[in-house]
Amino acid sequence: MKDTFTPSQKFIKKKWFIIDASEKKLGRIATQISEILMGKLKSYYTPYLDTGDNIIVINAEKIILTGNKETQKIYYNHSGRPGGLRVENLKTGLHVMIASPGFTASNIRKVALVKDGSAQGETSMVEEKMMSAEEVAEQIAQGVENRSRTLVMTFQGKLTVFLSKWLPKLLDKLVYTHFTKEKDPLIR
């Protein structure tokens, strides 16, 4: 009975391949590249040894995407830290970010209408402690630049996120009591 041949590192010769991906379908080219990288096309392929070759892919931006992959294919990347999930659209590079600015100073309550059609009036919250719309826009722009997944801007917002994860019923009760204590509350 013959022994199975296992190639040694001296026997394995690595080559360099240059693959032009222009006008080729994504799935087909990915399959070919993975076969070359694993070394499956070699007669001495062994799954537990690195028998694959090296590849340089050129013109990858000209690859063809079939179906709705351009708009629907989404890549997820997680850094391992809480809130470290990044979501990007394949073709557009669209980045999804959830921004939680908390309460911002505005005149929305002055022009908002209640059930009977009269103006809502002033808010009972201290507007000096609130962020202005410009400050919120600056922080959102920095978050987009840093490609953050979520952006919670205030201590109150960070506390809310923490409580919603660990004590959601307590958070519901606190929010309800906070809004019922307002002058002219929407919730009674």
Q: Which residues does the chain have with pLDDT short of 70?
A: 1, 79-86, 90-111, 120-129, 149, 183-188
* Shared-domain flag, residues 90 and 108: no
pLDDT at residue number 55: 92
CA distance linking residue 186 with residue 188, whole number of Å: 7
pLDDT at residue number 36: 93
pTM of the model: 0.45
* Shared-domain flag, residues 53 and 39: yes
DSSP E strands, 41-183: 54-58, 74-78, 85-89, 98-100, 150-152
186 inside domain: no
DSSP secondary structure string, 160-172? Answer: HHHHHHH-HHHHH
Q: How many domains does the chain have?
A: 3
pLDDT at residue number 107: 63
Query: Which tokens go with 147?
Result: 């490609």
* Shared-domain flag, residues 24 and 76: no
pLDDT at residue number 31: 94
* Shared-domain flag, residues 89 and 104: no
pLDDT at residue number 139: 80
Instruction: Report which DSSP code applies to 124.
Output: S
pLDDT at residue number 108: 64
